Amino acid sequence: MALYAHEARANRADANRELILLAAERLFAEHGITAVSNRQISEAAGQGNNSAVGYHFGTKTDLVLAVTRRHQVPIEALRSEMLAETLGSGDVRDWVACLVHPLTEHLESLGTPTWFARFSAQMLTDPQFLPAVTQEALEDRTLRKVLEGLETSRPDLPPEVLAEREAMVRQLLMHTCAERERALAEGRPTPRASWSEAATGLVDAITGLWLAPFIRDRPNQ
């Protein structure tokens, strides 16, 4: 009996954690991370105890990381498959595709509505949580390999141009996905009929961004 009771409690705890994660992801996506309190998340998740978020996850950073991990695991699996086919390529477009397609394929697999792209776009503009999520993401071997492949295949760029374009790529990828996700959730028309087609457009745009010419700053005359 004691074993069954323990298993029942563990199952309830897992279910409550999942409810909290789903509620947090949606509220963060809609309102921003810092604007949402643990109390609001607990209420949205149907938890009678307002300290449920802290009990199950600890700090808000821990919660944000937990939301991210729910999606990163399947995204990493998809990226690993693409990486195996891309290793050895010197084509920028191939490596850009390894960044874009795993995300869009995952979003498509979730159905509608989804919240992860909007959650990620919110996180991208939040300096309090972005460093921790970025650091953890870079611990993934497949992502590091993709970034290394992109680094060796793209043109040699001055440091300031490189930093500028890296920021542009992040914004273009996440905010384009977030806008498509929002439109689908609201039943609005989208420029592309499917996530696959949207990925093709993103790969085109990001590849063009990396390969675009640049003018070196001229000293003041």
Q: pLDDT for 10-22, tens place per residue?
A: 567 788 899 999 9
Least confident of 83-92, 110-119, 134-143, 210-219: 210-219
Q: What is the mean pLDDT of residues 32-58?
A: 89
Give residue 186's pLDDT: 95
**pLDDT value of position 220:** 57
Instruction: Work out the mean pLDDT of the chain and round it to a whole number.
Output: 91
Summarize the confidence of residues 207-213 as an average pLDDT.
97
pLDDT value of residue 11: 60
Alpha-carbon distance 124 to 68, whole Å?
Answer: 12
Burial string for 126-140 (b: 16+ CB within 10 Å, else e) reads: eeebeebbeeeeeeb
For residue 28, name the pLDDT band (cuts at 50, 70, 90). very high
Instruction: Please tell me the distance from the alpha carbon of residue 72 to that of residue 109, in angstroms, as a whole number.
Output: 13
pLDDT at residue number 10: 54
Residue 7: per-residue pLDDT: 58
Q: What is the mean pLDDT of residues 113-142?
A: 93
- CA neighbor of 29 nearest in space, from 169, 185, 145: 185
CB count within 10 Å of CB 185 equals: 14
